[in-house]
Amino acid sequence: MNGAESLVGTAAAAGVEVCFANPGTTEMDLVRALDAVGGIRPVLGLFEGVCTAAADGYGRMAGRPALALLHLGPGLANGIANLHNARRAGTPLVCLVGEHATWHRRSDAPLQTDIEGLARPASAWVRMSSAAAEVAVDTAAAIAAARSAPGVATLIVPADCAWSEADGPAEVRAPTPPAPVADAVLEAARRVLAGPAPVALLLGGAALGERGLRAAGRVAAATGCRLLAETFPARWERGGDLPAPLRLPYFPEHATAVLAASATVLLAGARAPIAFFGYPGVPSDLTPPGTPVETLAEPGEDVVEALERLAGALGAAPAAPAPAEPPAAPAEPPPGPLTPAAAAAVIAAGQPEGAVVVDEGLTLSADYIAAAASAPRHTYLGVTGGAIGIGLPLAAGAAIACPDRPVLCVQADGSGMYTVQALWTHAHEGLDVTTLVCANRSYRILLEELRRAGVEEPPARARALTGLADPPLDWVALGRGMGVPSERATTAAELAAALERALAEPGPHLVEMVL
């Protein structure tokens, strides 16, 4: 057995089932080991950012790590943006990066880079194996780190460590459970909530899962606190009879206005609300000055158990499911050209029970979030770190993790071009992903930022950097060119019919929504 085989054997024995790969010469022994050992499904991504985002989507939905196999430092560099998103999401993910043979590294070959230096900002754990005998142990440590943090663990494997003789697989230690919240912290939160002043309970992480939401709903029913959700959640269970917290708005003045309605902000698994960007004269902290921010549970602590204990301490009644109501007849799609609000309403009305919705469609995100609050039960995945180009590959990973659930990917056209190659993976793997492209033929968010900076009508050079209409991107041709059945919708009625057709047939589909 060589080092590569010991690595694959260790991962397979630990329950790792998928490897999203874009390998090169230094990873050929790892590629051969996938066949020699078995037990791990290889999935080819045609760009490293596809592999890292797909591993993120898989980890969010499966709750366990996949492997992302990349080629040397340049391959890692191509995948870092989506590793950043995975780190912000707290996704369990093991990133394997091939390296030159140990003795070749001193020669400064053309592809030689500081892989460890590249990996550290996007990783919670980084290690380079130094001998074949260490590879299995290092793999076990990487998997344990990814599962326990959770987060991105990057293991760098020199080629000679992969091809040289090694011992058998290593055992992976059980994941460390999240730390419980101290009784004193819980009591302080109870006092805040039991007081007369209004409280905003800001939910993040596992608090946005079913158990966390139901416990938070009990707390809200007992105290009258307002439930808020972090702006870009990694995973958010929504719809049906679940409590529906208000998502904290993206723009700082809107978020601050929402938070200003409460005398105290209590964090439950969420970070303190901070603006995405700095603006002239606008503070970074979104909480109004003088409003205290208290913490029930830090990210990584057992927020679900804390919310359940808190509900009990407040004497909250047990959660009771809402009475079942017959589904409302779908509203007729509004006439006229397709608008973001109309598209959001059609998607929310047409999505099936149990759907996984990947949202990188900022043009209509706010409209969709509002419209889907009363949709059938579904899971929502957001752009956690703000690095664009995550949607299409995140959907691929989610579909592989949950092959029995339909996946809808609401995808902006500009950011979709960052990882458009993921459509090929959708087709190659036969994934049940319906991609809904928001084709406004511009970087609309940049036009909005220009407007907010006082530029109502962008001058020529600004238009050149924000427009996608000359020539217009043809998403129907792009999708078909990668093997995905594709069509175009210009009205709400056309979108409703296209979505119904796509969901009725297994496999990937694409609908270009001309907005």
- Provide the H-helix boundaries in 279-326: 303-313
- DSSP secondary structure, 28-87, as one string: HHHHHHHHHH--SEEEE-SSHHHHHHHHHHHHHHHSS-EEEEEEHHHHHHHHHHHHHHHH
CATH architecture under which domain 340-514 falls: 3-Layer(aba) Sandwich (3.40)
What superfamily does domain 3-163 belong to in CATH?
A: Thiamin diphosphate (ThDP)-binding fold, Pyr/PP domains (3.40.50.970)
**All residues at 6 or more sequence positions from 204 whose CB lies less than 8 Å from its CB, including other chains:** 229, 230, 233, 267, 268, 269, 270, 271, 299, 303
pLDDT at 456: 86
Give the Cβ contact number of residue 185 at 10 Å. 18
pLDDT at 457: 87
Q: 75, 271, 36: which is closest to 169 by C-alpha? A: 36
**All residues at 6 or more sequence positions from 115 whose CB lies less than 8 Å from its CB, including other chains:** 72, 73, 76, 97, 99, 128, 156
What fold characterizes domain 183-313? Rossmann fold (3.40.50)
Is-same-fold flag (3-163; 183-313)? Answer: yes
pLDDT at 40: 98
pLDDT at 453: 83
Report pTM. 0.96
CA angle 24/85/270 to nearest 5° reads 155
For the chain, domain boundaries: 3-163, 183-313, 340-514
pLDDT at 333: 80
Buried b / exposed e over 293-303, threshold 16 CB at 10 Å, is: eebbbbbbbbb
pLDDT at 408: 98
pLDDT values of the chain reduced to their tens digit, one per residue, 515 residues? 999 999 999 999 999 999 999 999 999 999 999 999 999 999 999 999 999 999 999 999 999 999 999 999 999 999 999 999 999 999 999 999 999 999 999 999 999 999 999 999 999 999 999 999 999 999 999 999 999 988 999 999 999 999 999 999 999 999 999 999 999 999 999 999 999 999 999 999 999 999 999 999 999 999 999 999 999 999 999 999 999 999 999 999 999 999 999 999 999 999 999 999 999 999 999 999 999 999 999 999 999 999 999 999 999 999 765 554 555 555 678 788 899 999 999 999 999 999 999 999 988 999 999 999 999 999 999 999 999 999 999 999 999 999 999 999 999 999 999 999 999 999 999 999 999 999 998 888 888 889 888 898 889 999 899 999 999 999 999 999 999 999 999 999 999 999 999 999 999 999 999 99
Label residue 25 exposed, middle or buried (CB < 10 Å: 0-12, 13-18, 19+).
exposed
**150 preceded by a cis bond (ω within 30 of 0):** yes
Q: 64, 59, 44, 45: which is closest to 384 by C-alpha? A: 59
